[in-house]
Structure 1
């Protein structure tokens, strides 16, 4: 009797699962979340720590993610987001041969664990990049001393550079310029430009130097209504691009999102790195894209300080730029949907401010300070 009783007791204890053994994935994801919170808080408190995380463990993860997902010609992140709701419904309610209550509880913990992994990846891999040493300090630029005259001089210089390229750029009868090669060839050229920039000077060592394939989105035609031309998904390491925008925007947009892949989180800095990458290319259309996008930002800055000077600068700009700008305005009007763009703009603005970017979406325009400081330093050499 005693032997059988003990054996029965032992069997009951053996079969009784603990919360941990039943939810190992959830517990592991929760532990990763706790570690990620510590990394994130430490990064906000110390730029030196943020530099270390951004340049070493974070960089390795971003490299592996970008390398793996580049195998696929489509965006894994886009597929995940499009299928998210139906997959959740199937996962919760249609798993076979299991008690309904147990199934929903178990699957809920799995989905919560997946959410923890996504949040943890953001906190430990990409978010620290917001708090690393600024690009102007890395490159020895004095953006604080930039004056409105410096911005104007930069606009004039960029306008003159566009004029030098004008004969090599092809436009249609609406004034819109045409990219003379395929998307895949463009990506190849931009990867070469990144390699060239990183090899040109050791001061660019803070940029991750690796191959990646930015993904054209299936929903590209819907993106202009959101006013989003591209985005970086940290949990897959992919740069995602809307190919529905005018051709002149696409090289610069790809270079911008590739900058995010390489740990440049702040939007003004990603814009500036995108410009430098475009300038490093030996391809005329990529250089035209970089100059044109930068001139748009510079002229906006000139307009805020002197409207008459803006008009003078704009009408003295090359014909190819003025016609491109006019065609772009027509494109923007044809895709206007304020109810959508206001929502996406508010979400983006809130996210940027939460990461210490007090200017929010206006931070994109701060590229004018970096570019003006850059041209000023180059002219002084």
Structure 2
């Protein structure tokens, strides 16, 4: 009982400490994100990355079963032993909360990437439109390089495992101009929960306890390279979804393989078009004819995939994940994903695509 009370009390202390650390991002950046975390993350990838099996998924399965088993055993004790049961739950969550933050989640409190790279994140609609037109030209060119018929969608010829293996090349190239994006000891795996993830509306996730990049292997294959690179960015400590989208895009276009480049450019183009449509739908429609029919066919492929797995389950998990992001210093919640467009516009304000 004493241990349970102590762990429950420590949960409150931990929450206070984590929120206080959020006030000192430079401290977190120096001592955790660039100090302790790289050692923890590399160690985890070495330990769990040798097998293609998702160890983290298995751990989650076991944890869920144990939780359900405990609830079943305790189902008749809540009237008389509710205090003890609540203490048990608080103590267990205290351990979970400590491991979650210690092994990865303190990265939510690090210095924002746009500050680290010395660029802004805000933009005007005119700037977004100008950038999107440049991006359309680049995406069309990459499509033409791969597929000679401009009406046909790009079909990635690689196996899922080959895509994972090739993903590291983009980070190796990206690390030359940006050393803080260096990546070693890949641990990218197809999630055992890929079908549930499809219904939940997720392309993948990082397991914070094993540092495995869990990818939804059901996704349209043309988009899979950027999704894998996105999850890899979480592995090296970039928790923000907008930053992970930006880094995933960069690692894709820095890859030597044209299918990765196409995946990155088309990924960015889709986000830019969606952002324009939110501000001015007619303007977005006026830009659509500029996009190659083959690129639009790939976008249609993604839409068909989303429609196939559309269900109320996605709405529930989007609501929960939105609250989770907001509780972890991402005030825009799920909208954070599309915020990476601001990083793109500002990064390319004085650069060629």
Query: Residues 41 and 219 (structure 1 numbering): CA distance in 2 closer, same or farther, change over 3 Å?
Result: closer
3-state secondary structure, aligned to 1:257: helix
Tell me the distance in 1 between the aligned counterparts of 2:88 and 2:161. 37
> 1:212 maps to what in 2?
186
State the distance in 2 between where 1:369 and 1:91 align: 46
CA RMSD of superposed structures (Å)? 3.0
> How do 1:148-297 residues align onto structure 2 when only pairs under 5 Å count?
148-169=125-146, 176-198=153-175, 200-201=176-177, 204-297=178-271
Q: Distance in 1 between matches of 2:272 and 2:71?
A: 51
Query: Does 272-281 or 298-307 show the bigger shift?
Result: 298-307
Partner residue of 1:44?
22
In structure 2, the CA distance between the partners of 1:327 and 1:184, relative to structure 1 (3 Å rule), is closer
Aligned-partner SS, 2:310:
coil
Q: TM-score, normalised by structure 1?
A: 0.80
Say if 1:36 and 1:123, in contact at 8 Å, map to a contact too.
Answer: no
Which of 65, 79, 88 aligns to 1:86? It is 65
Deviation at 1:328, TM superposition (A): 2.2
Provide TM-score, normalisation by structure 2.
0.86
Aligned partners of 2:5 and 2:87 also within 8 Å: no
Contact 1:171 1:178 in 2 (8 A): no
1:315-354 aligned at under 5 Å gives the runs: 315-337=289-311, 339-354=312-327
Task: Give the deviation of 1:110 after TM superposition.
Answer: 9.7
More displaced 10-residue stretch of structure 1: 319-328 or 32-41: 32-41
Instruction: In structure 1, list runs of 5 or more residues that go unmatched.
Output: 1-18, 95-107
Q: Distance in 2 between matches of 1:351 and 1:60?
A: 26
How many Å separate the matches in 1 of 2:322 and 2:14? 23
Report if the CA contact (8 A) 1:271-1:367 is conserved: yes
Structure-1 residue corresponding to 2:115 = 137
Q: Does the C-alpha gap of structure 1 residues 330 and 259 become closer, same or farther in structure 2, counting only changes over 3 Å?
A: same
Q: For residue 65 of structure 1, report the CA deviation from its aligned partner.
A: 1.3
Q: Secondary structure at the match of 1:56?
A: helix
Matched, 1:373 2:349: no
- Rate the CA distance shift 1:236–1:27 in 2: closer, same or farther, 3 A: farther
Per-residue deviation, 1:32: 8.4
Which structure's CA Rg is the greater one? 1
The offset of 1:151, in angstroms, is: 0.8
Residue of structure 1 in register with 2:273 after alignment: 299
CA distance in 2, matches of 1:67, 1:38: 32
After the TM superposition, which of the residue ranges 361-370 and 184-193 deviates more from structure 2?
184-193
